[in-house]
Amino acid sequence: MQRDLLAVTIASSLAVVLAAGCGGSGNGCYTVSGTGSTEVCAYVSSDTPGFTCSEMGANGTGTSGSCPSSGLVGCCVHNISAGGYNETTADCYYSAATAKTEMASCPTAGGTWQTSAP
């Protein structure tokens, strides 16, 4: 039940991001929020036509590229294929304490833990 709910939440979040103007040729976009122990980088990549970074993030703009690698502890990555297109979403963490908690729950949420930015 929790896994199904998480899968729906992830799919819904991705749909919102894609509907907001993301889609394209495998381009990636990221936004960073918080600082220090609360710093998190959200990443989205898609090969859906029309993918842009212009609507991503709280301030209306995502940054093209991958999450910053400096201080990165790890990322929970989800790869989703739907309608012939591929999307990758990730939440990356810069605090060892936060990353430890997230690493433990990542596989349960259907993700893959990695120590480099997608």
Asked if residue 56 lies in contact with residue 20, where contact means CB atoms within 8 angstroms, the answer is: yes
Specify the pLDDT at position 58: 57
Q: Output the six-digit token pair for 3.
A: 């896994």
Q: Does pTM top 0.85 for this prediction?
A: no
14 Cα distance to chain centroid: 9
**CA dist., res. 47 & res. 50, Å (int):** 9
| Per-residue pLDDT reduced to its tens digit, 41-89 | 999 998 888 888 876 765 557 888 999 999 999 999 999 998 999 999 9
Q: What are the domain boundaries of the chain?
A: 2-114
Q: How many other CB atoms sit within 10 Å of the CB of residue 38?
A: 11
